[in-house]
Structures are given as C-alpha cells and as structure tokens.
Structure 1
Amino acid sequence: MPQEQFPSTGSANLRIGAAVARIEGLYAVLRITGPGARRNRLMAELEDAARRLAAVTGGAAEGHGAAVPHSRRGRRRALAARGAAWIIARAGRQASPGDPAARGHGGPDHGPPPR
C-alpha cells in the first residue's frame, strides 16, 4: 500500500509545535506591552492562537476526566490542549488592571490548573 494514503504523524506534530511557538511569541510580546488597544489586540490574537492549538490537538482538554495517553507524544498533545483551554478561558474574561496575571506576573491563579 503506498505511503501517500496514510497521514503523516510528523506533520501533525509540526502543526502543534508551530501553534505552541505562536502562543509563546504572542505571550512574550504581551508581557512587555502596556495597557491599551495594542494589548487588547494581542489578547485577541492569543485567544485565536489558543483556539487553533485546541483544534490541532483535537480538543483533548474538553474532558478533564479523560485518561491520559501513555505515549510521550500523546501526553504532550493532551498538555498542549489543556494549556490552550486555559488560555482561551483566560483571554475570554477581561482581567482587571490590578490582576497580577493580566500584567504577566505570577499570581495565585497564574498558570493552568494542577493535575
């Protein structure tokens, strides 16, 4: 059977890596950006990038009670999906100016929820 008939798992991993890199880049810029229209635009782009990551990973973060995959790639994909869900939830709510996580600093609710 020709190899072209089977989708490459490498291409899926490259798409996940590209989506994660986009999120990391946007977050790095967001950390140094002050309040204003540019920050709001970056938050919207970050939310879109997180939605793309969730779509690429198959939305594995939807079911929190789902079993964790046993392969390293499966675990990384599930972790990326959980992170995407956290970013979507975080970007979806408008953080107050006094919120440390909104300024890019760690606070009590900074980061994805623990396992």
Structure 2
Amino acid sequence: MAASRAGHLVGARADRFLDLIGGAVANPAGRVRVVATLRADFFDRPLQRHPFAGVYRTSVVALAPLTPDELERAITRPAADRGVEISAGLLARLIADAQAEPGALPLLNVTLHELWSRR
C-alpha cells in the first residue's frame, strides 16, 4: 500500500506505485488488469509517469456524465433489487444534486450507502 496525504499518493511511494502498476499491466505475459477512476482535473498526471504513461495512453475509456435517466436507474435499480423503494421526492433531490456538481458520483455513492445503513 502507498502512503497518502488527504487521500492522495505522495512522493516516492506514489512514483513506485505507478511504476509497479505500469510494469505489471505492460507485461505481455501478465494477466494484470487495472480499473481505476480519475477526476478530469487529474487526467494528465499518469501521463507524466513512464512506463505507466504508455499503458494509460492506449487504455483510457472516458465516460460522459450520466443523464438524468441514467442517474435514476443507477439509484433505483440496486434499491429495487433489494426490495427498497425510493420516494419520488428523495429521488428528484438526489438526481438534481448529482447533476449540479461535477464528479458527484462518488458523493452520491456515499449518500446512498449512508441511507442504506440507516434504513
């Protein structure tokens, strides 16, 4: 594990972490795959690390923000799978808040987790 400061990898440990991931993923005989999320304002940072940059450049899948309908499904389907119905008012508020804030999906995730744990 790499050390963190306010949730960010720092210093030599961050460099080593990216080097190890880049090397493992770039190994043609390897079976390592990495799925990671990255905020748009940090998008260029992995490009500054070799060999990670080569893997990153060819493997990025950029996702557009979810539409209101996609947000609704992302909220209601997992709840429905567990027999939970979300009120129309709460659903509308969650969708509006998620649309108003760039990068809101992690916050939406935390909110839904908290609501689930307090049910």
TM-score (normalised: structure 2) = 0.26
Which has the higher relative contact order, 1 or 2, with Cα contacts under 8 A spaced 6 or more apart?
Answer: 1
In our comparison, the structure showing a higher alpha carbon Rg is: 2
